[in-house]
Each structure stands twice: as C-alpha cells, then as structure tokens.
Amino acid sequence: MVRETDTSGSGRTALARTLPAFCCQSKLSPVGSMAFVFTCPNCQAETKVADSFAGQVGPCVRCGKQVFVARPQIEDSANPEDANQNASGLALLLLLAGLVFFGTVGTLIYIVVVPQVYQQREQAVHDRTRQRLLQIGLALRSYHDAYGSFPPATTYDANGKPLHSWRVLILPQLGYSELYRRYDLDQPWDSEQNSLLAFEMPQEYASAYDTAAIANGEPSFYVITGKGSAFPIKGSRKAEEILDDLADTVLVAETISYGFSWLEPRDIRLARLEPQINGSSGHSFASQSPRGPQVLTAAGEVRTLRLDAPAEAITAMATIDGGEPIDWKAVAVD
C-alpha cells in the first residue's frame, strides 16, 4: 500500500488502492520520470501521477472508480500577442531584407545598364549627325560636278544685297527638288513668298543633337566664308583652288543655332572664327554633343573635333592654302 497526498484541500489522506499501472510518487514509478496533476472526473480529487502512467486505466485513489488517465496537454506558454509581435517582426525583417536586396539590384542595374543605354542613344544621335553631314558633302560634290565649282556661299543682286544661301542652291542635289521649285530665285530669301518655306528646312541641315532646330527652321551647319577659305565672300571656288590637302580643309562645320533661318545667307566668317571649341559667338565650331562638333572636309570625310582641340589646328583647317598639316589624332576623336 502506498500513501498518496490528497491535494483537494480537504486536509485528509486516502489509502491508495492497489493500482495496476499508476500511482504518483510510487516506488513503482520509473526513476527520473516526470509527474503531472491528474483530476478524477468522478470525485474531482487531484493526484500527482507519474508521466509513465499516462494513457492507462485504473482505480482512482480516492473514490475507487475506474478512470482513464489522459495524457496531459502541453500548454503553450507563449502569449498570443507575443506571437503576433514575433510574426510582425519577422515580416518586417523580411520586408527590410527584400528592400535591401532589390535596392542593391536596382543600384547595380542603374550603375551598369543605364550608362550603356545612354551611350547607345548618344552613339545613335552622333551617327545621325554624321550621316547628315555626309549627305551635304555628297550634294556639294554633285553640285561641283554639275557646275564646275562649289556653290557660292551667298548670291547677291545688282545692288549687292544678299539674295540666296548655298543651302537653297543645293536643294536639288540633296533630294529636295520639289522644295527648290517652290522657292523663287527672283526674289530675296526673306520675301513674303520665300518666307513661307522658312519652317520646311530639310533635316540634313540640323544636328541631331539640336532637337529644336528642325521645328524652328534654324540650321546647325555653316560653311566658312572669307578670303583664304573654301567659300569666298563673293563668287565660288573650284576644288582645284584648294592648295592644302583636301582632307585637312573644312568645308562645313557644325555650330549651335543662334536663331537664324536656314534661308538666310549667313555663315561663319573666317576673320571672326574663334580658335576654340564651343565659343560664345556664332563664329565657332560648336555642338551640344558631349564629344564635340563635327566638321566636313573637302575630301568628303566627317571628323568629330575634340573639345580641347588646339587653337592653331582650328584656324589651320579653316584655310585652303596655309600649308599646315592636321594631326587628326590630336585634334579629333574620330
């Protein structure tokens, strides 16, 4: 017989009847086994029972009725609010980790991809500008073949008033014969009739870097005029009169538009040429390109001048008989 402690609060003790399988604190209990409080469903007596007797049937130590000792339920001691907080914290941590990850990936994409996209777009604009200058070069050569000389930079009336620009004279060679027919050569460029064509400038006369040039009818390409240049103030010049290497002599140069109509006979004056790239006046080689302005040589080649091109080289390439060779590797980027 084993004496069990009655924890029901009655202060009495009860002799345990012989149990086939379980008694709390019994000498029959396995050594080191855990115990739990069992409540009899009949008499409500609470008795400590060894964990090894859980799941067995036997008589209650107090009322003697057969009872089934159910396995104790392990209560989750965690507070539901704490669990929610833990879940929220985990979600926040995952969110922050995701933001860091995608932020890092986005930064890498920006660092690697964006410059490549910009470079490709810039190259496309550069190539379009170059192609337009090449087209002008072909038109000038075609005009030279047809008339025996390059077109005059400006034509004049009997009173010396400027009439027409070389840009109008080469329209047929450039592929704009219909536009040329609508232009009245018997009237000056700024007559009422000819002014109607002011906003129909061919795209070949605009740098692709100057997106407003075509819409405004303002050219980006000018010939160099004056004594010692390929285009004298009056009259025209043959290619044979260019004594310097044709590849070292500039015919047409890119510059930033200053609000002049493409119909107006206005160009870069050699006497006023600024010996620096992107000068402050309309008499300089200039461009909105990050590389530098492009120029067309008498040999039909297009070069992109460096932003730091030497002053003496700029002056030399604008003349036809200075005898100065041009080191294009030091002057141009391509």
Q: Bridge partners of 14?
A: 4
CA end-to-end distance (rounded Å), the chain: 110
- Distance (Å, whole) CA 195 – CA 157: 18
Contacts of 308 (CB under 8 A, 6+ apart): 277
Residues 208 and 214: beta-carbon distance below 8 Å: no
Same domain, 68 and 131: no
Contact call for residues 10 and 20 (beta carbons, < 8 A)? no
The CA-based dihedral angle spanning residues 319, 331, 304, 120, taken in that order and rounded to the nearest 10 degrees: 180
DSSP state of 46: E
152 and 301 together in one domain = yes
Residues 60 and 138 in one domain: no
Q: Which residue, chain included where needed, has tokens 């206005």?
A: 266
How far apart CA 117 and CA 109 sit, in angstroms, is: 11
| pTM for the model | 0.68
Q: What is the DSSP letter of 194?
A: H
Tell me the residue range of the domain where 292 lies: 126-331
| pLDDT confidence of residue 33 | 53
Same domain, 28 and 170: no
Secondary structure (DSSP) of 114-165:
HHHHHHHHHHHHHHHHHHHHHHHHHHHHHHHHHHSSPPPSEEE-TTS-EEEE
φ/ψ (deg, to 5) at 207 = -70, 140
Residue 62 CB coordination number (10 Å): 23
- Report if residue 291 sits inside a domain: yes
User: So what's the pLDDT on residue 82?
Assistant: 58
The answer to whether residues 66 and 157 belong to one domain is no
Whether 154 is in a domain gets the answer yes
Please report which helix (H) or strand (E) contains residue 317, including its range. Answer: helix 311-317
pLDDT of residue 55: 74
Q: 311 and 173 in one domain? A: yes
pLDDT confidence of residue 137: 98
Q: Number of structural domains, the chain?
A: 2
Q: Is 131 in the same domain as 202?
A: yes
Computed on alpha carbons and rounded to an integer, the radius of gyration of the chain in Å comes to 49
Cα separation, 268 vs 100, in Å, equals: 56
Exposed/middle/buried for 297, CB within 10 Å: 0-12, 13-18, 19+?
buried
| 57 and 135 co-located in one domain | no
Q: Cβ(151)–Cβ(186) under 8 Å?
A: no
Domain assignment present for 119: no
- Same-domain check for residues 130 and 56: no
Check if the beta carbon of residue 293 is closer than 8 Å to that of residue 215: no
Is 120 part of a structural domain of the chain?
no
Question: 139 in a domain, yes or no?
Answer: yes
Structure token pair of residue 196: 């109607």
Calpha distance 196→170 (Å, rounded)? 19
List the pLDDT tens digit at each of the 334 positions of the chain: 334 444 444 433 333 333 443 443 333 334 445 777 878 888 888 888 777 777 787 888 888 888 777 766 655 444 555 556 677 778 888 888 888 887 887 776 767 766 777 789 999 999 999 999 999 999 999 999 999 999 999 999 999 999 999 999 999 999 999 999 999 999 999 999 999 999 999 999 999 999 889 899 999 999 999 999 999 999 999 999 999 999 999 999 999 988 899 999 999 999 999 999 999 888 999 999 999 999 999 999 999 999 999 999 999 999 999 999 999 999 999 8
Q: Does 302 lie in the same domain as 169?
A: yes
Distance CA(120)–CA(129), nearest Å, equals 14
Beta bridge pairs of residue 156: 162
Tokens of 61: 């130590």
Residue type, position 310, single letter = P
Number of residues written out for the chain: 334
**Residues 63 and 189 reside in one and the same domain:** no
48 plus 160 within the same structural domain? no
